[in-house]
A and B are shown apart, each in its own frame.
Chain A
Amino acid sequence: MNPAGLSLEQAPPFSVPLRFFLTAPWFLALAAALMFWEGPLIFASRWLPATLALTHLLVLGFMAQVMLGALLQILPVAVGVTIPYPRLTAALIHLPLTLGTLTLAGALLFSLPSGFAHAVGLLGLGFGVALLAFHIALWRAPVASGTVIALRCALGALLVTVALGLLLAGGLSWGWSLPVVELTNLHAVWGLAGWTALLLAGVAYQVVPMFHMTPPYPTGLTRSFAPLMTGVLAAGSAFILLDWTVAALVAGLALAMGLIAFAAGTLYLFTQRRRKISDPTLGYWRMSMGSLLAGAALWLLTQWIPALATAPQVEWLLGILLIFGFAIAVINGMLYKIAPFLAWFHLQAQLLGRAKIPHIKQLLPDTPVRRQMRVSLAALLLLLAAAVYPALFTYPAALALGATGVWLGVNLWSVWRTYRRILREGLAIAPAIQ
């Protein structure tokens, strides 16, 4: 092996993104366990300690975990920029994020001021390292493509989300007086409509045409969508803080329409696929974009019918549609593309010409993916039902959520196991890599 050759490589070692991917699914299982423990009462309000803990197990434990891990991979491979010291950077993000998520969930659940202080330190460290590494890399990107622009906007939105989150957690730890409702709403909107939706858009510009053989997203749209959305988010936030109700409503409508346009446009691209081969991960995309459409439409409806806006069930439905239906589903689907692809790629890189590399489908067959997707869809429907009829559906929803998380974890683990086995066997045949 030539160490000088290795240092030139764009792609980070497989362990860099994989440690995030193998951790994330177990947070879905943990969230399900919390639902079991709390029972139907958890659906009484979005402000209950258990509800806030549940939300953060999902958005930090699952979503941020995979999103940050995937960025460590995507930036070098799709954008062509390197992240310095990838293993160390990954560890400095992964460990504090994982421990910080558990600490924050515990602090929220048991209302522990000292827990919030520890969570602020851990999450501040993990996100701080991530933001620094990604911002430096992205501003050095050789080409400002639609993806690069969207990723820059997404990371700007992540900065706002994290800053607001740390402020809120600091307030709970040190008793600062803050406009908690407004800041929490802004924290959630920047996290979901900014960081999550814009990161997804930037990644979608690349992976939807690449993996699903669709025409590309229109270039004008890919370059303007994320900056426009970020501008609307910033203006809307200022209007909310200034208490300019009408202007804030207009910004909200623009944001919802932007998300609807992105979801509808993506669903339209899927109807234009050049090769209509069955692909189980398409189901996740449809579930995700359908949920985004439904979530944005429901929010618009609450603006027409004010009584809806204050109903706790509606806030829950919005949260379930946007967090589980939109974000978690599409992340779950993309993991099934990314993980086997990376395993296959690293096997090629290490065993080229020395051993036969199996087809990518042998690393992860379609059947378990398809079955887990059905459980995931069932979990979405049961969670929505539980928000309206908690007494009846909380336990089935928790069961489905736990099952989908564990199953995803097992499927990803099997990719890792198969990779290790093939690598071991290949290296046994030809131990030296030039």
Chain B
Amino acid sequence: MTLNLPEIVVDGRGLEPPEPMERVLAALDVLQPGQRVRFLIHRQPYPLYDILRRYHYPYETIKGVDGGFEILISAP
């Protein structure tokens, strides 16, 4: 039943740190099992990866054509 939940899109492009991370962490708080967060960001968010690994969120990074990145995060 949870598989059809819509993706949560977080656009952190062009925001001053730490706002992008604040937004994506807020999205993780409401993330349901089976649901994903799609995080758009203009640079590699290395610090975010630390937090995702620490809390066992599986994630995948896709490099965009515009030099930005999309990080797809699933619930642990």
Contact = CB atoms under 8 A, between A and B. Distances in A.
Partners in one complex: yes
State the majority secondary structure of interface residues on B.
helix
A9 B18 CA distance: 18
A86 interface: no
Interface string B1-39: 000000000000010111001000100110000000000
B46 A10 contact: yes
A28 B76 CA distance: 48
B54 A10 contact: no
B29 to A, nearest CB: 6
Interface residues of A, number: 25
Interface size class of B (residues with CB under 8 A): 10 to 19
Contacts of B46: 10-11, 76-78, 80
B16 A9 contact: no
Contacts of B44: 80
A349 B50 CA distance: 8
A353 B29 contact: yes
A311 B12 CA distance: 53
Contact of B54 (A2, A210, A211): A2
Interface in A342-396: 344-345, 348-349, 352-353, 360
A10 B18 contact: no
Interface centre among B14, B29, B49, B54 (most CB of A within 10 A): B54
A274 interface: yes
B51 A349 contact: yes
B55 A9 contact: no
A349 B18 contact: no
16 contacts: A2-B56, A6-B54, A8-B53, A9-B53, A9-B54, A11-B50, A77-B47, A210-B43, A211-B16, A211-B17, A344-B18, A345-B21, A348-B51, A352-B28, A353-B29, A360-B18
Interface of B: 14, 16-18, 21, 25, 28-29, 43-44, 46-47, 49-51, 53-56
Interface of A: 2, 5-6, 8-11, 76-78, 80, 210-211, 213, 274-275, 341, 344-345, 348-349, 352-353, 360, 434
